């Protein structure tokens, strides 16, 4: 029996990429998954697939920039399954450009989704975790926060901010109630780079993703590994990247 059989896991950014792969992986291992994203058509298809394969799944339209949406996602998990064991904060956006371009609107989007969205999830889940005596926050960060490169300053900044706040939260939570895990994927075959505005940069990123990218399933397995550890074991930080990535 998998240690995931009794787990209830909410996932943001669940409609594609790492989020969808994680939903499928965890549900296949016996977890009940509560999926949030903006693209509800994809969520409907994903939930239908999980249920058809014998899994348990619920869904909710979620925009992580709206605090109330995260509160409703957590409430859905508690109301439907009696509790929430894990919140996987996976929603994220990437916009790349030199700082001198002053793409302030894009900066705001990345701050709102990548950083504020994580904070909204923490604010929604932490009271539930404290009340029930256990909980686990898993957040998708990025290797961009480990190796900063030109055109990714703000994106990497938001990811490093999340890494910092999770470490601080960990140090504030050594009573055994809360576990925190940062997952830093490298090149993973997802839609993340498809929304880069500059056509040349988008093409370069897509080429690198196609040439080097690993399957989102690899990250999903890492997330499952972190969750499956005994309650007194915390996997604090994991980097998952292609073996050929520099």
pLDDT single digits (tens) 132-187: 999 999 999 999 878 888 889 999 999 999 999 999 999 999 999 999 999 999 88
- How far apart (Å, rounded) are the C-alpha atoms in residues 140 and 233? 19
Best CA proximity match to 22, nearest among 57, 54, 48, 52: 57
Residue 202 pLDDT exceeds 70: no
Q: Once rounded to an integer, what is the mean pLDDT over residues 55-82?
A: 98
Best CA proximity match to 57, nearest among 83, 87, 82, 30: 30
Q: Sign of dihedral through CA atoms 228, 117, 215, 143?
A: negative
Please give the pLDDT value at position 8. 98
**Numbers of helices and strands, H then E, in the chain:** 8, 7
Out of 3.40.50.620, 3.50.50.60, 3.40.1670.10, 3.40.50.720, which CATH number does the structure's domain 8-240 have? Answer: 3.40.50.720
Best CA proximity match to 86, nearest among 128, 50, 56, 114: 128
Q: Which of 155, 193, 220, 227 is catalytic?
A: 155
Q: Pull the structure tokens for residue 119.
A: 């904070």
Task: State yes or no: is 155 an active-site residue.
Answer: yes
Q: Sign of dihedral through CA atoms 130, 71, 42, 184?
A: negative
Q: Once rounded to an integer, what is the mean pLDDT over residues 184-200?
A: 73
3-state secondary structure of 185: strand
């Amino acid at each position: 029996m998998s240690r995931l059989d009794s787990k209830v896991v909410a996932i943001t950014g669940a409609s594609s990429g790492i989020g969808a792969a994680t939903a499928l992986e965890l549900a296949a291992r016996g977890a009940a998954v509560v999926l949030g994203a903006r693209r509800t058509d994809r969520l409907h298809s994903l939930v239908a697939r999980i249920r058809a394969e014998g899994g348990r799944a619920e869904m909710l339209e979620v925009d992580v920039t709206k605090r109330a949406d995260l509160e409703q996602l957590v409430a859905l998990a508690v109301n439907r399954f009696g509790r929430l064991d894990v919140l996987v904060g996976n929603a994220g956006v990437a916009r790349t450009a030199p700082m001198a371009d002053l793409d302030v609107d894009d900066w705001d989007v990345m701050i709102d989704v990548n950083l504020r969205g994580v904070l909204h999830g923490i604010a929604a889940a932490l009271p539930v975790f404290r009340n029930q005596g256990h909980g686990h926050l898993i957040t998708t960060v990025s290797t961009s926060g480990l190796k900063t490169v030109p055109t990714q300053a703000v994106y990497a900044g938001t990811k490093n901010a999340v890494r910092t706040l999770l470490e601080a939260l960990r140090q504030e939570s050594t009573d055994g109630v809360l576990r925190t895990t940062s997952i830093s994927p490298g090149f993973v075959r997802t839609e993340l780079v498809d929304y880069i505005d500059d056509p040349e940069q988008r093409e370069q990123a897509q080429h690198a993703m196609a040439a080097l990218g690993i399957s989102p399933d690899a990250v999903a397995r890492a997330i499952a590994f972190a969750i499956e550890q005994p309650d007194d074991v915390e996997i604090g930080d994991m980097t998952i990247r292609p073996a050929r990535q520099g």
